[in-house]
Structure 1
């Protein structure tokens, strides 16, 4: 257990330098999202977002599945009709983090598991991983899929939503849903290596870069450019903005303070 983080059996947490590795730990249920797991994810990522010692996170699953989606047995037992609004918010309670998260998809990423991968900033997938928005096969819905329109072509989004059929890791890479496909044994290592590359960069520059990408997907070009200049003002006037050129000139590794 890490200090200040939730203590629960449904999540395994590991600190690797400036990187937090979060592993969904309900392998017998294919890491299905029950109330306890959703709550643990929100609490963990809220803490991660305020933890100054961590700069990036990796989210993966234990066992053969990344996440099979909502716990259908729990839903049936509670006669769930319309899901609570917060059930779709899992990477922190605000629905948006200031730090990057990389999904390391090790197997099935179905329904709510697809959503988890979608909500991460980058995705590394193992060969053999599959992705599906399978709600139409269970009489459920996927209102959370709306942001896919800024990630995928319209016809690909239609295919995923209307058929409910899975696509493999290589197709997911071809359509831009996945950044990298690796062998299963290399998955977490590859995702952590990517996270470490991000963590080695200036924290404020990473923060601002993530913000401008999100702004650009929500507003028009002119408004996004204006917002980007405002966001990066904090970066240009920071201590790290002076440290970067000094370190380069001195042929040394920069020491980032995030200030």
Structure 2
């Protein structure tokens, strides 16, 4: 897929929407490329973390390709229209959105679907569907990620948030100057990739438990998630490496 590039470097998979002339909008080729890239990452044992970004400086992803959608008379998008990590495609390993510009509509969806978000100081975020009469059912989890009234404002007005505002409300983890964005995202990804992989996978799953379970049930589920981590060879290796004052060698088992 020429509109989406997948590159693996030092355990980090870089998935880049490469359609800057159309603000990296989600036409058929981009959507297929994103699904393909996500599946490739999930199946790639050498890839520990995924960074999703867009080409150019103007847009991370401006959302759906309205010209294509209009030509096709699109009404309700099918469940697999755009990849939503953890909803319509299983991605157990960590994902980071590196937002280099406008993340509108489906672009906001992609940033929301990633586990973490690093944004350029010039980035903007908007749920802009209300301005063109479209829908955003994918925004259902948003009120668990940011204050409910801010989520409501985003959905009802379609007005963009600045990167700084998105950082202040907790939607963005880190800010970077535009020319340092990929370096900042790579640094965060490398920190994760250098950790014990079983602990990372269990940590990601643990963070989402209370979104679906009562707290007491979430504790019980978390104990089950972490039991095989405690009993793994990596757990013993981590302690030995600490005692021996060396870097651990993780085997993921």
Normalised by the shorter chain, which TM-score bucket?
over 0.9
Q: TM-score when scaled to structure 1? A: 0.95
Q: Which of 179, 183, 194 is the matching residue for 2:177?
A: 183
| In 1: Cα distance, 2:77 partner to 2:200 partner | 34
Q: Is the 8 A contact 2:7 2:14 kept in 1?
A: yes
Distance 2:208 2:8 in 1: 27
Deviations 1:173-217 (A, max 9, x none): 011100011100100000011000000000000000000111122
Among 150, 154, 157, the alignment partner of 2:144 is 150
1:41 equivalent in alignment to 2:34: yes
Q: Does 1:30 align with 2:37?
A: no
SS at 2:67's partner residue? helix
Q: Call closer, same or farther: CA 1:184–1:158 in 2, change over 3 Å.
A: same
> Counterparts of 1:97 and 1:13 in 2: how far apart (Å)?
15
Bigger Cα displacement from structure 2, 111-120 vs 208-217: 208-217
Q: What's the secondary structure of 1:104's corresponding residue?
A: strand
SS at match of 1:86: coil
* Deviation for aligned residue 1:127: 0.8
1:108 correspondence with 2:96 = no
CA deviation string 1:104-163 (max 9, x = no partner): 000000000000000000000001100000000000010000011210111001000000
Rounded to whole Å, the distance in 1 between the matches of 2:82 and 2:31 is 9
Secondary structure in 2 aligned to 1:254? coil
Secondary structure at 1:15's aligned position in 2? strand
Tell me the matched-pair count.
252
- Give distance in 2, aligned partners of 1:12 and 1:88: 17
Q: Displacement, 1:49?
A: 1.0
| 83-92 or 163-172, larger mean C-alpha shift | 83-92
Q: In 2, distance between residues paired with 1:214 and 1:96? A: 14
* 2:44 alignment counterpart: 51
Distance 1:194 1:246 in 2: 26
- Report if aligned partners of 2:80, 2:88 keep a CA contact under 8 Å in 1: no
Give 1:71's aligned residue.
Answer: 65
SS at match of 1:157: helix
**Could you tell me which of 206, 231, 236 is aligned with 2:230?**
236
C-alpha RMSD of matched pairs (Å)? 1.2
Q: Does 1:122 align with 2:94?
A: no
Structure 2 Cα separation of the partners of residues 216 and 204 of structure 1: 20
Counterpart contact for 1:43–1:93, Cα < 8 Å: no
Cα separation, 2, equivalents of 1:60 and 1:205: 26
Q: Which residue of 1 aligns with 2:158?
A: 164
In the TM superposition, what is the alpha-carbon distance from 1:92 to its structure 2 partner?
7.9
Unmatched tracts of structure 2, length 5 or more:
none
